[in-house]
Structure 1
Amino acid sequence: MATRSQSLQLPGPKPIRRLQESLINRIAAGEIIHRPASALKELIENSLDACSTSVRVTVKDGGMKLLQIQDNGSGIRKSDLSILAERFTTSKISTFSDLSQLATYGFRGEALASISHVAHLTVMTKTKSDTCAWKACYEDGTLIPAKAGLTQDPKPCAGNDGTTIIVEDLFYNTPTRLSSLRSSSEEYARILDVMTKYAVHNSAVSFVCKKAGSTSSDLSTPSGSTTEQVIRLLYGHSVAKELIHVTTSSNPSKDEGRQSDGNDEGAMDVDEDQDEQDDPEAWSAEAYMSGASYHAKKTVLLLFINNRLVDSPRIKRSLEATYSSILPKGASPYIYLSLRIDPRSVDVNVHPTKREVHFLNEEKIIERICDAIQEALSGGSRSRVFEYQTTLTGGIAEPVEKSKKGKGKEMEKEKEKEVPVPDREEVEEREENVPSSAVGVSELKKKVYSHHKVRTSTQDRTLDSMFPVLSPFQARGTPSKSGDQGESVPLGTQPGQVIKLREIKQSECYLTSVQTLRKEVEKARHKNLSEILEKYIFVGIVDVRRCLSLVQHSTRLYLVNHDAFAQELFYQLGLKQFGNTSRFKLSPPPSLKAMVKLAVDAEEGTSQSRFSKEQIVEMIVSAMISRREMLQEYFSLGISDDGLVEYLPLLLRGYTPNLDKLPLFLMRLGPQVNWTSEKECFETFLRELALFYVPGPLISQSADNNPDEEKAERWQIEHVLFPSFRRYLRPPKTLLDQDIVQVANLPDLYRVFERC
């Protein structure tokens, strides 16, 4: 009889086989390409390595159906297209020692190869020396014919300098990976997040992202911008106004030495730069971070190490710990940190997607950066601002008593109860459904308690009345306004004058595009925010430089960004008067070319463009002169035959725009206006015109402003702009996000005082 051990026989070892090449490549592709956003990251890095100044991305179905990246870089040679999508084909390195001096984004040559194994890949490219572009299609790393019956060789086609990569049907052959992806809207949000971070770090490069078939872009940054400008554009005014710039390095004395004046400064810098090149532990860091007055629910960290977008939980925890003693509990900061380390001290080959890197002296570097940030936060001159947001309108009625029985006791109980503050979503839902006039008759007879009494007279004391005027008021200038009948009316006004706003009638326009834009303005109007503007009482200007003013509505005090409100107002006024806008004459008329040249010379980043400054000026001037009849007819912008700017549109009587911004306004009309589409042309032009009209300069003013100009600006804001908000502005809901904040409520203040 067989024993139990003899009946249980173990299976023999399985044979070891070599995997098929296609399976190997597909497994490797899964390590590199996780989702559409990771494919886009690899392709953007390739475009930046090609010295591109413009990157345009088109997406369909969250990148799963189409992901197109177009750049204007150096392109790819035709002879290299045959091995372009093979694994480990690269122009970045040739030997293993090159990894220690790596200064490019990519180096392994796996991005295009991985994409070709999980998607249909098409490449169109053209170098400056080529007479035409070349188109090639790839599958599983090899060239394939574009159509049946054709050869697999690259085909000539029309195209601009640079490279266009088209990725279609991503993960079509890996259904498991495709089913694990989120919705198309969430994948598109991830794509926008990647592009936003690279746009901030590469502020001189123009980034555009839009959905396929859409006429407007969801992300757009101009080339040659500064980091502060891109952060303001992509993350909003609330972040940009609180930004603090910090720089530190492994040799702090170097920065101090460069700030000193002397004849030996140049020689000293050369010696120190040479020392840094010889020191493998040298590093430098630059950060743009929010101050103590800004906080969000979740930390926003943009971390770049040697220009690579990476994640570092350790650095993130250290930065959050630095802010923990400054921000309230549960609040988080915004931080953009760029760290440059000697390539010899960094190992970039520790993660397939280069998402993580390892470098020497990590603890020491992080500690030095956190110390510099803490010093900037604690030693800054900015005052701490406390803000909170609750219900925006005072028109929602108090609940009417259900019964008269026990009225006295019920009122005493109601007084003792503290009303909970609803969530923002609940507030906006109720505001859209509850009419502003929903006040019962019995409410009118109720006794008004002290903490519900509000002033109703505009003659009451304001903030400005508390400070005596030491010097006479002078307007910024007194150009004359030429109306349609040839009349001249001075624009400069004196303090004490009451500006009577004349009725601005809507012009008759039968263009479908203009009618569509007007309907969009009315559709986007927020009813309860309109109620605030109709019934507000102006309190005063808090800060001209930061564009902040205080207004009161009912028992609530609001902090208003009058810059954002003014920009929307002037856009709507330009749209309302389309084709029939008044104008004011410039005497003497300046040269259009001289104005544009002045702005181009002052613009940063133009040296990185493939066009010279003279070419840029000529392109902008020729584009505007060729369309001067249209500009004169539709927008009242007069340009003579010999290129003189004779008159400008006058959007609001009694308001003088800052003519120092005229060169920048004329320059931006070239690249920022979409001249190819009628609706977008009208909208983008009016947006630029509104930006020209907003108070103050485009960028924050310096501390040494002319006091007379500041008084003129204050007077126009209080006596012209705010009355115009009340009369003409149709405020959209987007202004609620960050441009109006409730800072106080009278009943809440009474409860605080009663406890003291």
Structure 2
Amino acid sequence: MTTEGSVSTDIPAEPLPIRRLQESLINRIAAGEIIHRPASALKELIENSLDAGATSIRVTIKDGGMKLLQIQDNGCGIRKIDLQILAERFTTSKLSTFSDISHIKTYGFRGEALASISHVAHLSVVTKTKSDSCAWKACYSDGVLVAPKPGQNIEDLFYNTPTRLSALRSTSEEYSRILDVLTKYAIHNSNVAFVCKKAGSPSPDLSSPSGSETSNTIRLLYGHSVAKELVSVSVSSRDRERSDEEGDIEEDEPDDGPESWHAKAHITNANYQAKKMVFLLFINHRLVESSRMKRAFEAVYNGILPKGTSPFIYLSLEIDPRSVDVNVHPTKREVHFLNEEAIIEKISDAFQEALTVQNHSRTFEYQTLLTGGIANSENEPSKKRKGKERDLSDNEEEESSSTISKGELKKKKTLSQHKVRTSLEDRTLDSMFPVTNPAQLSKSSSQGEKEDASLGTLKSRDVKESECYLTSVVNLRQKIARGKHRHLTEILEKHTFVGIVDLPRSLSLIQYSTNLYLVNHGSLAEELFYQLGLRQFGDFSRLKLDPSPPLRTLINIAVNAEESTKTSTLSKPQIVEQRIVNILMIRREMLAEYFSLCISEAGLVESLPLLLRDYTPNLNNLPSFLMRLGPQASSLRYKVGDKL
């Protein structure tokens, strides 16, 4: 009897009997502990392939792995005689006694992976050993062999566990988890080729070659932005402290004691920042997680990276198997090992030391005046300038005093807090281009454009797209239009140029909204001129050369400066005449019509294409440009007046 507001509990009058669960129910419960989602099934099978010595692993996925999960490898295979018990629980070739766990060096040892999969999916195996004359196929259900049926590998995952199936996310998210698992194993096993694709897709979504360096695999799978900022770190249990007289850490070969260990890592320096930390941890080649390690490494970066940003860390830790307990988690996701705190502390110190060296090498440059800025034509300084002058001390005013007279602006010493300016009008990247002489610009009536020598922001609508019916050019224009990135376009249109960070590496810093971006202005300029060339194909403005230089003289200058011509069977005069000058003279009508590169009958270079208004290219590179243009022009076909 219960009263209002009380909790009703059904307590049996007699204790319930204890029953032995049916074996099928036991196995299905155990399967739920091992196989959480398609990615966890894939992880178990990938580890089996690696244990079998595979050097090539191909994965095919359908519907995020829930309809089909196919793994192909070139490992040693499975003996026909073992297929009978392959999918039974606790059947394994990895160990025979419990003491074997203390020195286990394989990924698996429980013998539960295939058994668990067979209880929640339709499992089939096709295998062939080196000595077999043919391959054998076996199908399994609930851990036992069943009659074969169409299909292969893992199909209809969780078909008999609807609750687990309904708890899974979308197929695209499950597929991304699969790619994440494969990416991590590909990074650690750079000697193995990994391929992953969707069923029916002609091209893979993940592909890594075998026999590659770890850093190259990281570059391939995580991108150049991560790889270029990587720092390699190596530390072991026998590392000695850095001496006062030596600049490098000395390492001895690790001993064979149970407490010996060795760690190799690739971590990003302070130049790389991401919103989410990427932490790849392998202990004795096993992909595991360690919240303690993750917190320790985050603490190392807290004093280096801005708040809210995280690094990329790949760590491979090899410990004597006698010091590792791998039997602490059903999926082997976690391991315990001796001296965990001391090892983590030593690795963290090695990270700190490596990052400190890298951080000291970071340099930044400031610009006190805006390149391309327009000075006041009046003698009186602006209100902003007067405000800055009031901020200077008396001594600084004496040292940096200047006057504006006769239209000349002399440099004035500026305080550091005034060195970065953020005017959208004069701090964009295209404002860095020098002003060309308006008299050099060709004002053909076909374009009807009014040439303007003032500095300003380049917008796509300022460049008129020419009419062109050439299929190749039209296709290239459509490809650029399809690949347009909306957010990146907005950044480039509305950015603020902060300054050059590294001139040899062509790195500059720009600001958009409240974010700073490091850009390669060399690559950006190359893409800009490529798109400008496509947009104006056949209708370029012309940059007239006065006086017009002789083509043959320019080619001679470039060929004489070229070292590679020493290995050619032709003499330098023959290269100039036969390979370059003759070809350009034959193609000069095409070059004039399509590219506004005009060469007279007498062999004088009269004009060059002007891709960007108000920008004069570096004419010192003209000889080299013409020398390389000759062989390229020889492959072009052209008929006078042919527009098709």
Please give the TM-score of this superposition, normalised by the length of structure 2. 0.61
| Structure ranking higher in helix proportion | 1
| Structure-2 residue corresponding to 1:640 | none
Please report how far the alpha carbon of residue 72 of structure 1 lies from its aligned counterpart in structure 2 after TM superposition.
1.6
Please report how far the alpha carbon of residue 246 of structure 1 lies from its aligned counterpart in structure 2 after TM superposition.
0.7
CA-to-aligned-CA distance 1:298-317 (integer Å, 9 cap, x gap): 22111111111111111111
- Secondary structure of the corresponding residue to residue 105 of structure 1: coil
The answer to whether the aligner puts 1:206 opposite 2:181 as a matched pair is no
* Aligned counterparts, 1:391-470, within 5 A: 451=423, 453-454=425-426, 456=431, 458-459=433-434
Please give the alpha-carbon distance, in whole angstroms, between the structure 1 residues aligned to 2:426 and 2:128: 69
Residue of structure 2 aligned with 1:194, choices 181, 184, 201: 181
Contact preservation (8 Å) 1:52, 1:73: yes
- Secondary structure of the corresponding residue to residue 293 of structure 2: helix
CA-to-aligned-CA distance 1:237-260 (integer Å, 9 cap, x gap): 22212111111110004999xx99
| Structure-2 residue corresponding to 1:376 | 354
Contact preservation (8 Å) 2:66, 2:155: yes
The answer to whether the aligner puts 1:360 opposite 2:362 as a matched pair is no
Residues 177 and 72 (structure 1 numbering): CA distance in 2 closer, same or farther, change over 3 Å? same
* Aligned counterparts, 1:318-329, within 5 A: 318-329=296-307
* Aligned counterparts, 1:212-611, within 5 A: 212-253=199-240, 272=253, 276-277=255-256, 279-380=257-358, 383-384=361-362, 451=423, 453-454=425-426, 456=431, 458-459=433-434, 508=471, 519-526=478-485, 543=502, 546=505, 548=507, 559-561=518-520
Residue of structure 2 aligned with 1:81, choices 76, 83, 92: 83
CA-to-aligned-CA distance 1:425-460 (integer Å, 9 cap, x gap): xxxxxxxxxxxxxxxxxxxxxxxx994552857337
- Secondary structure of the corresponding residue to residue 330 of structure 1: coil
Please report how far the alpha carbon of residue 379 of structure 1 lies from its aligned counterpart in structure 2 after TM superposition.
2.5
- Secondary structure of the corresponding residue to residue 252 of structure 1: coil
Please give the alpha-carbon distance, in whole angstroms, between the structure 2 residues aligned to 1:230 and 1:31: 32
Residues 207 and 450 (structure 1 numbering): CA distance in 2 closer, same or farther, change over 3 Å? closer
| Structure-1 residue corresponding to 2:136 | 134
Contact preservation (8 Å) 1:289, 1:336: yes
- Secondary structure of the corresponding residue to residue 153 of structure 2: strand
Q: How many aligned positions are there?
A: 451
Please give the alpha-carbon distance, in whole angstroms, between the structure 2 residues aligned to 1:84 and 1:115: 12
Please report how far the alpha carbon of residue 381 of structure 1 lies from its aligned counterpart in structure 2 after TM superposition.
5.9
Q: Which runs of 5+ in 2 are unaligned?
A: 1-9, 366-420, 437-465, 536-558, 569-594, 598-619, 630-644
Contact preservation (8 Å) 1:64, 1:169: yes
What is the identity, as a one-letter code, of the residue corresponding to 1:98? D
Please report how far the alpha carbon of residue 519 of structure 1 lies from its aligned counterpart in structure 2 after TM superposition.
4.2
CA-to-aligned-CA distance 1:379-413 (integer Å, 9 cap, x gap): 236544799xxxxxxxxxxxxxxxxxxxxxxxxxx
Residues 336 and 571 (structure 1 numbering): CA distance in 2 closer, same or farther, change over 3 Å? farther
| Structure-2 residue corresponding to 1:413 | none
What is the identity, as a one-letter code, of the residue corresponding to 1:283? W
Please report how far the alpha carbon of residue 327 of structure 1 lies from its aligned counterpart in structure 2 after TM superposition.
1.6
Please report how far the alpha carbon of residue 134 of structure 1 lies from its aligned counterpart in structure 2 after TM superposition.
1.6
Please give the alpha-carbon distance, in whole angstroms, between the structure 2 residues aligned to 1:201 and 1:564: 31
Residues 108 and 255 (structure 1 numbering): CA distance in 2 closer, same or farther, change over 3 Å? farther
Please report how far the alpha carbon of residue 12 of structure 1 lies from its aligned counterpart in structure 2 after TM superposition.
2.4
Contact preservation (8 Å) 2:364, 2:501: no
| Structure-2 residue corresponding to 1:494 | none
| Structure-1 residue corresponding to 2:61 | 59
Q: Which runs of 5+ in 1 are unaligned?
A: 1-7, 149-163, 388-448, 462-502, 577-583, 591-651, 655-714, 725-756
| Structure-1 residue corresponding to 2:167 | 180
Contact preservation (8 Å) 1:203, 1:225: yes
| Structure-2 residue corresponding to 1:37 | 39
What is the identity, as a one-letter code, of the residue corresponding to 2:307? K
The answer to whether the aligner puts 1:105 opposite 2:107 as a matched pair is yes
CA-to-aligned-CA distance 1:678-708 (integer Å, 9 cap, x gap): xxxxxxxxxxxxxxxxxxxxxxxxxxxxxxx
Please report how far the alpha carbon of residue 533 of structure 1 lies from its aligned counterpart in structure 2 after TM superposition.
8.0
Please provide the CA RMSD for this pair.
Answer: 4.7
What is the identity, as a one-letter code, of the residue corresponding to 2:267? M
The answer to whether the aligner puts 1:22 opposite 2:24 as a matched pair is yes
Please report how far the alpha carbon of residue 165 of structure 1 lies from its aligned counterpart in structure 2 after TM superposition.
6.9
What is the identity, as a one-letter code, of the residue corresponding to 2:270? A
Contact preservation (8 Å) 1:293, 1:386: no
Please give the alpha-carbon distance, in whole angstroms, between the structure 2 residues aligned to 1:88 and 1:567: 61
- Secondary structure of the corresponding residue to residue 188 of structure 1: helix
What is the identity, as a one-letter code, of the residue corresponding to 2:336? H
Please report how far the alpha carbon of residue 111 of structure 1 lies from its aligned counterpart in structure 2 after TM superposition.
0.5
What is the identity, as a one-letter code, of the residue corresponding to 1:112? L
Residues 301 and 504 (structure 1 numbering): CA distance in 2 closer, same or farther, change over 3 Å? farther
Residues 562 and 85 (structure 1 numbering): CA distance in 2 closer, same or farther, change over 3 Å? farther
| Structure-2 residue corresponding to 1:687 | none
Please report how far the alpha carbon of residue 198 of structure 1 lies from its aligned counterpart in structure 2 after TM superposition.
1.1
Contact preservation (8 Å) 2:424, 2:495: no
CA-to-aligned-CA distance 1:505-546 (integer Å, 9 cap, x gap): 99656xxxx998874443112478669989999999854775
Bigger relative contact order (CA 8 A; separation at least 6): 1
What is the identity, as a one-letter code, of the residue corresponding to 1:357? V
Please give the alpha-carbon distance, in whole angstroms, between the structure 1 residues aligned to 2:199 and 2:321: 39
CA-to-aligned-CA distance 1:12-40 (integer Å, 9 cap, x gap): 22222211111111111111001111101
Please give the alpha-carbon distance, in whole angstroms, between the structure 2 residues aligned to 1:237 and 1:167: 35
Contact preservation (8 Å) 1:46, 1:106: yes
- Secondary structure of the corresponding residue to residue 380 of structure 1: helix
Please give the alpha-carbon distance, in whole angstroms, between the structure 2 residues aligned to 1:348 and 1:521: 52
CA-to-aligned-CA distance 1:538-571 (integer Å, 9 cap, x gap): 9998547756357999xx9974336766997999
Please report how far the alpha carbon of residue 320 of structure 1 lies from its aligned counterpart in structure 2 after TM superposition.
0.8
Residues 90 and 320 (structure 1 numbering): CA distance in 2 closer, same or farther, change over 3 Å? same
CA-to-aligned-CA distance 1:701-745 (integer Å, 9 cap, x gap): xxxxxxxxxxxxxx989x98xxx9xxxxxxxxxxxxxxxxxxxxx
Bigger radius of gyration: 2
Please give the alpha-carbon distance, in whole angstroms, between the structure 1 residues aligned to 2:242 and 2:74: 36
Contact preservation (8 Å) 1:346, 1:357: yes
